[in-house]
Structure 1
């Protein structure tokens, strides 16, 4: 049976291989060329307005974001566009519920575990925050519009379906997926904004980590169907409301196991204060920062291979004691003064059974795609920590030494920094000792 084909404005013919998703606005198809997708817009929509909207999005400079940006419009009679994409991507809804009959713990691990989920969500949030930084509103974040790497070894996340991007907020043009609409959008009081995008992203993040929708507690799942509509409009308390227990959930994964304190606090601020006052709602950038920090704070279990927060004394999945650790603090260095701990750590990373890669997010405080470049790798060894330089020079000094004469270079081959006693520590510099920069303070021993 021959595949359906469409032709773009440049005359290129695209064979539609597989439908990735379908809704009221149209369908998204993977093409025979795995690095392209085609969005076919619904024939019930205003065709000329759609063509103008797609042409507007096509003109936007989105090259620095992981979004399926339009490359070419489709020729009539079709309305839609061809967009860039990655092969082997699947919708993030594949992380929301295990297949029937499969144990949750095993499935959670098989799909990459806690650390991967945190990192995938952070990367999806980076794409959304990047749109917001350009003054754009996405409008319809949901489990069908965020795609992630299929292979569990990869952590890419892309936003698709960009034909609703806009600069303005119009209640008449509000579109949302049930369960993801912010209260003010569902009620018609406001149009979409970056903070309604933040609400939808918070719903997705909470669901992907805990495996329950933040408003689908036992009151909703065991009650009348009409209650779901009330819940999705935030007219019922969310499942972890601090003072109203009516809609508690007996399902999902324990919040302390997969959220930790910082993400739980963001969820509470979003779904309690932020439900009534959008100005109290955390933005997407706050979620990105804390998702990355939470991923940094995970360690692998040597027995079951699940990842869990280092604050737990034992693996919550299997009960085996936490592995031996070294500790990495990202701090500030000032020439002549040395390490400045009073300003607080930019990041705290446990170093256990798997190597830790310090990226430009750690070493330079950058964000987005550029921040993912690895500058240094650390690996716990029996005698200490193996430090390897990547593309950027790095130096090591003993604590207490602030002079350039004490600094020695780190090479690509690497060197082992002894941690033979718990009090021993080292300072790894991401800039010359005579200039202000960030450093990694490595300490803790290997016991």
Structure 2
């Protein structure tokens, strides 16, 4: 192929980029791969000088914002000829979330199989991906910005199911979140009803709606508003009305006129807390955007869900631990999780009363599955401190024992009713010694962080029981 047949664009500094393939396309333009590793180009589909000027101004503005520490492929430099757009950098080994959705959705629809659902990471990885998306968006919102046009095509995830890296592309619609964004732009199916009706511009509340739709689709492989009522309506008209908020969602507690007709049942792939957030968003939040769960709320619930995921040893799917049930039944195969396939960790607060230690369980539960590992910090679980604190302890399930390993220059304390030790070094505990009637308790701290004895006492008062 000769050079003049190649699709070449140039940036404002004269650098040349060969466009090698289309990654995605939306209302504003097309995102392309290039001949440079880790470099993408977005080409906008307008030749209107005023629109081009506005785009270039927006690119410059985004470059001046404090966003470089977020997992976002921000505009780096403007493309100026033969078309306009911008250059962005994206690490290798990522694929669009849309591709993950399509792969397993097609398998479910064509073969009535959840094998590809499992092969693309199952429930566990989907929850981890959603957690990473929620973390980035909640941080963006906390700085006063909204993303704008959130969809599975604009979110890239690790191709390997062993990783849950998340990056956002197409970030030129980021705007200040003062309830009003700069545009009504949205991807069909993901726009909040008030945006679709052209009544409101983008903001953090419209981001929250789009996130909930993506989360629901990723978990259940159905759209929350494409149910029986939409199927019975005129083609296209029904969908448009649904996107405008004129239909109930498929699991509405008050109205079953648009009930679910496909996908994976929500109660199979979510827990009660996640279900409540969907209900809050798609019922009250459909009418009143202020009622929608924030990304911070999603983040907290998803973190707890990640930590309560059980691996089914029978069908290899994952499901959620239910502390209210003795038997942990996998909803995919109806088999009971074997007691020796997981260990429950529960955070306790140790308080001295009349000279004795009293253990108060905080209902903060984490599940360690067979042959896996888990990390702990010294902070109270589920708080902002937990999110920001360094990991200090790693616990691994290795064959017939637990390896307890302090990390990041930490020291740990472990005790049961008969004895306790402090150590800087790895300690092994045979699984046969893990006994609910005489549980081990473990805590960790970094000596260089400790201010005085009272500070150490406070840190050690938060411990994790193993049972």
SS at match of 1:341: strand
Deviations 1:253-292 (A, max 9, x none): 1212111100000000000011111221111111122112
Tell me how far 1:128 sits from its aligned partner. Answer: 1.3
Instruction: Say whether 1:41 aligns with 2:44.
Output: yes
Tell me how far 1:150 sits from its aligned partner. Answer: 1.1
Q: In the alignment, which of 244, 262, 283 is matched to residue 251 of structure 1?
A: 262
Equivalent residue number for residue 99 of structure 1: 106
Equivalent residue number for residue 341 of structure 1: 360
Equivalent residue number for residue 179 of structure 1: 189
Change (3 A) 1:338 1:183: farther
Equivalent residue number for residue 158 of structure 1: 167
Contact 1:355 1:377 in 2 (8 A): no
Instruction: Note the 1:196-207 alignment, pairs <5 A.
Output: 196-207=206-217
Q: In the alignment, which of 318, 321, 339 is matched to residue 310 of structure 1?
A: 321
Give the distance between the partners of 1:414 and 1:391, measured in 2 at CA: 16
Tell me how far 1:366 sits from its aligned partner. Answer: 7.0
Q: In the alignment, which of 419, 429, 435 is matched to residue 416 of structure 1?
A: 429
Deviates more, 1:380-389 or 1:8-17: 380-389
Structure 2 gap ranges (5+): 448-452
Give the distance between the partners of 1:390 and 1:200, measured in 2 at CA: 38
Give the distance between the partners of 1:153 and 1:74, measured in 2 at CA: 35
Contact 1:360 1:371 in 2 (8 A): no
Tell me how far 1:391 sits from its aligned partner. Answer: 2.2
Equivalent residue number for residue 437 of structure 1: 459
SS at match of 1:329: strand
SS at match of 2:80: coil
SS at match of 2:346: strand
Change (3 A) 1:326 1:337: same
Give the distance between the partners of 1:245 and 1:79, measured in 2 at CA: 48
Change (3 A) 1:83 1:340: farther
Tell me how far 1:334 sits from its aligned partner. Answer: 6.5
Deviations 1:320-355 (A, max 9, x none): 32032321123456689867636x24x311223132
Q: In the alignment, which of 192, 207, 218 is matched to residue 208 of structure 1?
A: 218
Give the distance between the partners of 1:234 and 1:203, measured in 2 at CA: 13
Give the distance between the partners of 2:385 and 2:22, measured in 1 at CA: 29
Contact 2:138 2:295 in 1 (8 A): yes
Change (3 A) 1:382 1:112: closer
Q: In the alignment, which of 373, 383, 399 is matched to residue 356 of structure 1?
A: 373
Equivalent residue number for residue 17 of structure 1: 20
Instruction: Say whether 1:272 aligns with 2:283.
Output: yes
Give the distance between the partners of 1:373 and 1:118, measured in 2 at CA: 22
Q: How many residues align?
A: 438
SS at match of 1:163: helix
Change (3 A) 1:275 1:69: same
Deviates more, 1:28-37 or 1:290-299: 28-37
Give the distance between the partners of 1:361 and 1:139, measured in 2 at CA: 36
Give the distance between the partners of 1:372 and 1:16, measured in 2 at CA: 42
Give the distance between the partners of 1:362 and 1:153, measured in 2 at CA: 27
Equivalent residue number for residue 295 of structure 1: 306
Contact 2:41 2:85 in 1 (8 A): yes
Change (3 A) 1:192 1:6: same
Tell me how far 1:6 sits from its aligned partner. Answer: 2.2
Change (3 A) 1:420 1:176: closer
Instruction: Say whether 1:329 aligns with 2:329.
Output: no
Contact 1:333 1:437 in 2 (8 A): no
SS at match of 1:437: helix
Instruction: Say whether 1:396 aligns with 2:413.
Output: yes
Instruction: Say whether 1:129 aligns with 2:138.
Output: yes
Q: Which fold has the larger relative contact order, with Cα–Cα distance below 8 Å and residues 6 or more apart in sequence?
A: 1
Give the distance between the partners of 1:220 and 1:94, measured in 2 at CA: 25
Instruction: Note the 1:110-149 alignment, pairs <5 A.
Output: 110-149=119-158
- Root-mean-square deviation (CA, aligned residues, Å) is 2.9
Change (3 A) 1:11 1:389: farther
Q: In the alignment, which of 188, 191, 204 is matched to residue 194 of structure 1?
A: 204
Contact 2:74 2:171 in 1 (8 A): yes
Q: In the alignment, which of 378, 396, 416 is matched to residue 395 of structure 2?
A: 378
